[in-house]
């Protein structure tokens, strides 16, 4: 356990940030799972409606430092590719 006042404060701040980051991470992952499920079911209309919302979530995770910017770019490219592949078939 922390001994000094500043260490106690730091611990509380760390816990707050951890819970906030987990919430954002969970929100993004759930949206991705739902999107991938829609594309696997060939439900393009619903998937296209979800895409802008998912991209916004990914961008917010990257801007808050939860995800690296390159990971965010990679995930967005993967989603766009998924839509285009399903769209061609």
Enter the pTM of the model. 0.84
Cβ 31 vs Cβ 57: under 8 Å: yes
**Residue at 52 is within a domain:** yes
Rounded to 10 degrees, the C-alpha dihedral 19/25/29/35 comes to: 120
CA 52/CA 55 separation, integer angstroms: 5
Task: Please give the residue range of the domain that contains residue 45.
Answer: 12-88
Look at the chain and report how many structural domains it folds into.
1
Closest CA to 48 of 35, 61, 37: 35
**Residue at 67 is within a domain:** yes
Q: How does pLDDT run across 37-87, given as a tens digit for each residue? A: 999 998 888 999 999 999 999 999 999 999 999 999 999 999 999 988 877
Which tokens hold the place of 19? Answer: 């819970």
**Residue at 6 is within a domain:** no
pLDDT at 29 over 80: yes
The CATH number of the domain holding residue 29 is 1.20.58.110
């Amino acid at each position: 356990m922390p001994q000094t006042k500043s260490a106690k404060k730091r611990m509380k701040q760390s816990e707050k940030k951890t819970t906030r980051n987990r919430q954002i991470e969970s929100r993004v992952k759930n949206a991705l799972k739902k999107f991938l499920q829609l594309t696997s079911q060939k439900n393009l209309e619903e998937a296209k409606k979800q895409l802008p919302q998912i991209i916004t979530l990914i961008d917010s995770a990257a801007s808050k430092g939860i995800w690296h910017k390159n990971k965010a770019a990679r995930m967005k490219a993967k989603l766009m590719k998924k839509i285009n592949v399903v769209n061609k078939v």
